[in-house]
């Protein structure tokens, strides 16, 4: 089974700040990590390869520094790594991002399964996975919490729902987006780290994947971020401390003040 895992480098959530001048994410001095959901997608791909054979290719669209994250993915079990990187991709919204990743997946060719995280922890739209599937004209299932059985023809998965889960059989090729409950990602082995050090991360440009200039980056992005801001805290806030009983007593006393 040939699997592509889309992984995105994101700012570490504990460091996310907004630049008050530009209303954009302040990325300077902020540590970058592999999007946590994508780590679970990678683990699932490696487990499926261990069962069925084939290859796991990790794919990212991003700046040159995303290479470090792709090497980390190799250390955790991926076979190949591809970075789609070109100044022409700058300013891409989810529409242009899914177009670019689709062109890269078509360039890789012969892909049975594409895995994505449910969402990226910075953009948070959860649009890119379904966007790729629509462009590839393949079926997709979002919020997958378990892969049950798989063969060369189909995969049976559980889709997380508010009140339980759906069991869905989907023919291959297909795309899945995964939630964190799906598995416990492995820690990179020493052998994996050695392999990652020596591995070649293939870098593909817009021309390499045959991307149309008017479909990528800012030119190919129909949406624009007009403003990004931290919401103002609403009203008076109090934080109660102590045991649960003490906090309940404090809460009751506080409510009495409003009666």
Ligand X SMILES: Cc1cc2nc3c(=O)[nH]c(=O)nc-3n(C[C@H](O)[C@H](O)[C@H](O)COP(=O)(O)OP(=O)(O)OC[C@H]3O[C@@H](n4cnc5c(N)ncnc54)[C@H](O)[C@@H]3O)c2cc1C
- Restricted to residues 165-204, the positions that interact with ligand X (CB under 6 A) are none
State in Å, rounded, how far the first CA of the chain is from the last one. Answer: 65
Q: Which residue, 216, 217, 40, 2, is CA-closest to 116?
A: 40
Residue 26 CB, nearest distance to ligand X (Å)?
13
Among 2, 57, 85, 97, the residue binding ligand X under the rule CB under 6 A is: 97
Q: Where are the beta strands (DSSP E) in the chain?
A: 2-6, 9-11, 18-19, 24-25, 32-34, 55-61, 80-84, 113-117, 140-150, 154-161, 164-171, 174-178, 201-204
Interacting stretch for ligand X, rule CB under 6 A, among 75-83, 127-135, 185-193, 204-212? 127-135
Decide if residue 23 touches ligand X (CB under 6 A).
Answer: no
Q: Provide the minimum distance between the beta carbon of 53 and ligand X in the complex, in angstroms, as a whole number.
A: 23
**Shortest separation between residue 98's beta carbon and ligand X, angstroms:** 8
Under rule CB under 6 A, residue 142 binds ligand X: no
Binder among 33, 37, 141, 155 for ligand X (CB under 6 A): 37
Q: With binding defined as CB under 6 A, does residue 57 bind ligand X?
A: no
Q: Please give, one letter per residue, the 3-state secondary structure of 163-202.
A: CEEEEEEEECCEEEEECHHHCCCCCCCHHHHHHHHHCCEE
Q: How far apart are CA 171 and CA 121, in angstroms?
A: 29
Cα distance between residue 1 and residue 153, in whole Å: 10
Torsion of CA 218, 223, 227, 230, to 10 degrees: -110
Out of 116, 144, 182, 206, point to the residue binding ligand X (CB under 6 A): 116
Would you count residue 93 as binding ligand X (CB under 6 A)? yes
Tell me how many residues contact ligand X (CB under 6 A): 32
4 lies in the binding site for ligand X (CB under 6 A)? no
In whole angstroms, give the CA distance from residue 246 to residue 259: 20
Does position 60 bind ligand X by CB under 6 A?
yes
> To 10 degrees, what angle do helices 190-198 and 67-75 make?
140
Interface with ligand X includes 122 (CB under 6 A)?
Answer: yes
Among 34, 128, 138, 182, binds ligand X (CB under 6 A): 128
What residue number has its CB nearest to ligand X? 123
Least Cβ distance, residue 138 to ligand X (angstroms)? 15
CA angle (234, 236, 242) in 5-degree steps: 120
Please report whether residue 7 would count as binding ligand X according to CB under 6 A: yes
Length of the chain in residues, anyone? 259
Query: Could you tell me the smallest distance in angstroms from the CB atom of residue 233 to ligand X?
Result: 26
- Residues at the site binding ligand X, with contacts judged by CB under 6 A: 6-8, 35, 37-38, 60-62, 90-94, 97, 101, 116-117, 119-120, 122-129, 221, 223-225
């Amino acid at each position: 089974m040939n699997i592509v895992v889309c992984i995105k480098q994101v700012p570490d959530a504990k460091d996310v700040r907004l630049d008050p001048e530009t209303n954009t994410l302040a990325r300077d001095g902020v540590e970058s990590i592999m999007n946590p959901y994508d780590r679970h997608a990678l683990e699932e791909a490696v487990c499926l390869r261990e069962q069925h054979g084939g290859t796991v290719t990790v794919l990212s669209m991003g700046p040159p520094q995303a290479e470090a994250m792709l090497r980390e993915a190799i250390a955790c079990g991926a076979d190949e790594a591809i970075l789609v990187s070109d100044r022409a991709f700058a300013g891409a919204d989810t529409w242009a991002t899914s177009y670019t990743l689709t062109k890269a997946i078509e360039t890789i060719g012969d892909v049975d399964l594409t895995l994505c995280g449910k969402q990226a922890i910075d953009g948070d739209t959860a649009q890119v996975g379904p966007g790729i599937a629509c462009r590839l004209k393949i079926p997709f299932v979002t919020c997958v919490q378990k892969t049950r059985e798989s063969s060369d023809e189909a995969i049976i998965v559980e889709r997380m729902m508010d009140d339980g889960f759906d069991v869905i059989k989907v023919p291959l090729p297909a795309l899945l987006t995964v939630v964190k409950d799906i598995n416990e990602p492995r820690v990179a082995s020493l052998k994996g780290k050695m392999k990652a050090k020596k591995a070649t991360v293939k870098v593909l440009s817009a021309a390499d994947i045959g991307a149309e200039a008017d479909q990528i980056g800012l030119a190919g992005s129909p949406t624009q971020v007009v403003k990004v801001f931290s919401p103002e805290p609403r009203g008076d806030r109090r934080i109660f401390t102590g045991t649960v009983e003490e906090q309940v007593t404090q809460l009751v006393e506080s409510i009495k003040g409003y009666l």
